[in-house]
Amino acid sequence: MPYSIAYRAPMALMLLLAGGLAHADALSIKIENDIVSTGEDGHYTGGLEIIYGFAPEADHWTDGLSRMLLDDRGPADNVAYRLGHQIYTPEDIEQVSLVRDDRPYAGLLFGGVSLFSETPGQAVRTTRGVHLDVGLVGPAAGGETIQRRLHEWTDSDEPRGWDNQLENEPFINLGIQQRWWQQHTPGGLEFEYGPMLGGAIGNLYTFAATGVGMRLGHNLDRSFSIPSVTPAQSGSQYFTEGGGFAWYGFANLEGRYMAHNLLLDGNTFTDSHSVDRREWVGDASLGVALTWSRWQLSFVNVWRTREFEEQRQSDHFGSLTISTLL
């Protein structure tokens, strides 16, 4: 994947940070790209996220935050530090002038922390995740430079419209998601399904979400939830080494009421290109996760309804995550 080349510096930075953490457990690299699924290059063009997860001790700095946002009984079951970059463009990237009826160009750079908790039960397992992100949208995020370099290396169409991108704007966003998993064991397999509630607030995204998901496989207790594609919130990438081979297939339906989307609504404090955002957006996702020894590989396909009025058709994205225990 060309994204692995373009993000050597952020990856090196995360690895250095990881080396200084006493309770580090898992390192994940997550690639999101429409080319993975469709071979096209537009709208959510692609992103890379590096996730460093670990099980915190009781005196970890996130303890107070966990008690306030997750559970007053103690620290989170696992914590993840995240560093990522995303690129958004209209479909016609060779047009120099503003494409008024398509989404704005935008580069997005962010760092975040996620807290995850799990409450086991004989019939119902509850998982909750809280995500705090800070970052920057605009030229300083480097979206233009990264896309130009990638397209030079891959001999792809030259992106010519970046002069029309969103202006620099810092953001902060807080998201939460909770799932209730009903558990069964049909035919020697493990099966769990159940509803989800979630939402986010901030100047990047503000939305409320609900949905339903399912997992079917073997040794489900070695992992905790299912991956997704932004702005939907992924479950924990943390997993346990355990024994033998583990796998599961998963499916998920999610609907969101989008009250705000900076990447479509345009800059908050300055004039910029914008489109007419749709308030109701839905995702359907389908994927598989494979776990063996100290490694896990997961892939998800996401079909998303139109996000703005001028959009001609729905979008299709793919996400690939590789994780290892350290």
What are 170-229's pLDDT values in tens digits?
999 999 999 999 999 888 899 999 999 999 999 999 999 999 999 999 988 888 888 899
pLDDT band for position 40 (50/70/90)?
low
Among 86-95, 225-234, 272-281, the minimum mean pLDDT is found in 225-234
Helix and strand totals (H; E) in the chain: 6, 12
What is the DSSP code (8-state) at residue 233? P
Q: Which two tokens stand for residue 290?
A: 């494979």
Q: What is the mean pLDDT of residues 49-66?
A: 88
pLDDT band for position 63 (50/70/90)?
confident
Mean pLDDT in the chain? 88
* Structure confidence at residue 13 (pLDDT): 41
User: What is the pTM for the complete model shown?
Assistant: 0.88
Domains annotated for the chain, with CATH where assigned, are: 3-325 (2.40.128.140)
Q: Which two tokens stand for residue 182?
A: 């009903």
Instruction: Identify the CA nearest to 259 among candidates 284, 283, 231, 233.
Output: 231
